[in-house]
Chains A and B, each alone.
Chain A
């Protein structure tokens, strides 16, 4: 099978990679671009743990073919770190105990970041509805919701990100 070259920006860096037509973005991110912050627990669009931001929108990377991502901008949880500083949503997750085993956390973090950018004044109901495409088996979600409600103040610009 002849591969084809695609170009994408991964966490701000331009990357070129040869992919096959049937390879998913998840496969290429993890096994070709070595971006291990993208997890997976089902490989078929059910758990949401492979969620990344593609051109600013959350996608399940196992449901996107790598060739579809040609020319796109991809952001993962690692990409939210700026100059070694956690982003406000990441800090909120830490402070609220919004993670346990941590395997689903990168997906929840990028999804929450996108959600708060679009809706910095959410209700708990809206947060719950939005998160329902992702599975966390450890936390029972409540502290994740708390973290997102709390981090919203940064997205509203009420509080500066760095202390």
Chain B
């Protein structure tokens, strides 16, 4: 049951991301995405391969169902899934996996969650912006876009992290 609820929540959030990608194009300098936190919060019991496949499928869905170039989100999201274990070890400690504990903002604190979101957003945005500009935009533009998207992305990701918390969904 928990799995079903989690999958439904995940799908609804994915749909929300597709809507944002289609209808919320506020500025060239802003790319609003909470996909990295969705991939980061995939339950710990699922290994990196499953997380990567899920990231690939999520990226494909967003790319295919929005006006973007197919491949951009997939390219940027798979490395987040690959680095997920590393980020968890760095922020929450190595014994986290041994306990098979899920990441919880209420239990582990907001600060750690913000730090995790910043790291996963940074990986995602760096690859996304680099591939999107394809060497045609100046560095200052890319850096400005990175900064603005990072701030906005982190704020919305905090909300998503609160919704997607596995333990909260299970209750």
- Asked if A and B are interacting partners, one says no
Q: Which residues of B contact A (CB under 8 A)?
A: none
